[in-house]
Amino acid sequence: MKDIEWKGYARKDGSKGIRNVLLVVYLVECAHHVSSEIASGFNKNEVQVIGFGGCYPNSHADKVMRRLCTHPNVGGALLVSLGCESFNRFKLAKTIEETGRPVSTLVIQEEGGTSKAIARGTEWVRSALHQLQNTPSVKMGVKDLVIGTICGGSDATSGISGNPAVGLTFDRLVEEKAITIFEETGEMIGFEDHIASRAKTKALGNELRKSIQKAARYYTIMGHASFAPGNADGGLSTIEEKSLGAYSKGGKSEIAGLLKPGDIPTQPGLYLLDVVPDGEPRFGFPNINDNAEISELMACGSHIILFVTGRGSVVGSPIAPVIKICSNPDTYERMEEDMDINAGKVISGELNLKESSNEIISAILSTAAGNKTASEALGHQEFVLLYKSFQPAGPSCLP
């Protein structure tokens, strides 16, 4: 991998992207329809929609939105406001502008309603896409990549094929000086000591342990763990058993840091992302939506998401390509159109874990070079941004 290079997109803020998408961003649910209508007139791989539906201000949503609108894979953004929501559109526009990306704000109430706003937004997007055609290229290699991973629709095969194959892949990426991020602290319950023992420092180990204990407490209060009926139907019996598989996708490398959503690591290594809100439970159930977690991985800079599934999942993402890794050979046979990798070959004896990891590495390099994943080809652009509350990561959490 060390000598493999491809052409990426150079950003004026110094970052490098593997895609060059233009975002249409709704800043309240009332602006969602107008945003979708503006984007519908363009190629899905060029113009994509994200947004925050809440009218009440939320610092988590504000931070994540700033990170997403300045993501390395993003070339520019149109911000769509109703006009009376609490989201600070002026601050977001300034943040985007300071990175050298084209940005404009469309206020529906000021434009005179739906049709006029759609027409004005469509005109700006068309002009911005022409501008993005002149984005300079830059050489990229594995060391430039940030790779996130998540598992969803897990079953009894996830922990013995797909997840450990991703774990082995992460170990190899860390050796090549890439940044790798795994998450789901709510699915690490029972592994507190194992996680802590892999920390770069003792202080970080304590923080990692506390993050998992926080998740266990949060789930207990809410009365809802990260365990779905489909997990049980697929052969898993407890959250601890599910944790066996979730833990394995983090590989065996030393853990360099603990992130909160929107924290972007600046040094190579393996990081754990804590997505369970801090403080007392508020704003609904945490960790029950894979797309919210994908959004948070992207907010930490992930260029690509490795998504492991046993039961089968079809979700994608509007910013970072999702590589779907199916751990169950029977599921792969039924849902091959939505899958990129058949890690179920480990179950059937056709491949070993290293060979499955080789296929994942090849898919990462192919995707980074511009080839579409299955979810991209099918047009999947699912996106969720929830109300949450976080305290800043402490000094012990980052290198």
Q: Which residue has the tokens 């039961």?
A: 311
Q: Which residue has the tokens 């599934």?
A: 309
Residue 233 has pLDDT above 60, yes or no: no
Q: What digits encode the pLDDT tens for the residues 163-178?
A: 999 999 999 999 999 9
- Could you say which architecture CATH assigns to the domain 8-138? 3-Layer(aba) Sandwich (3.40)
307: its two tokens: 């998504």
Return the minimum-mean-pLDDT range out of 37-41, 152-156, 193-197, 362-366. Answer: 152-156
Residue 235 has pLDDT above 70, yes or no: no
CB atoms under 10 Å from CB of 275, counted, come to 24
Residue 248 has pLDDT above 90, yes or no: no
Domain ranges of the chain: 8-138, 145-377
Residue 35 has pLDDT above 60, yes or no: yes
State the sign of the Cα–Cα–Cα–Cα dihedral 270, 64, 40, 16. Answer: negative
Q: What is the pLDDT of residue 160?
A: 83
pTM exceeding the 0.75 threshold for the entire prediction:
yes
User: Distance of CA 393 to CAs 165, 260, 261, 281, 361, Å?
Assistant: 30, 6, 10, 19, 31
Q: What digits encode the pLDDT tens for the residues 116-174?
A: 999 999 999 999 999 999 999 999 999 999 999 998 767 777 788 999 999 999 999 99
What mean pLDDT value characterizes the chain? 92
Residue 289 to residue 148: CA distance in whole angstroms: 16
Q: What digits encode the pLDDT tens for the residues 314-362?
A: 999 999 999 999 999 999 999 999 999 999 999 999 999 999 999 999 9
C-beta of residue 154 within 8 angstroms of C-beta of residue 160: no
Residue 58 to residue 208: CA distance in whole angstroms: 25
Q: What is the pLDDT of residue 184?
A: 84
User: Distance of CA 357 to CAs 247, 249, 341, 345, Å?
Assistant: 17, 11, 10, 11
Tell me the average pLDDT across 177-195.
Answer: 89
In degrees, to the nearest 5, what angle opens at C-alpha 269 toward C-alphas 157 and 66? Answer: 95
Q: What digits encode the pLDDT tens for the residues 83-99?
A: 999 999 999 999 999 99
Give the largest Cα separation in the chain, rounded. 63
Counting residues of the chain whose pLDDT is more than 70, the rounded percentage is: 92
In degrees, to the nearest 5, what angle opens at C-alpha 167 toward C-alphas 344 and 330? Answer: 10
Q: What is the pLDDT of residue 285?
A: 53
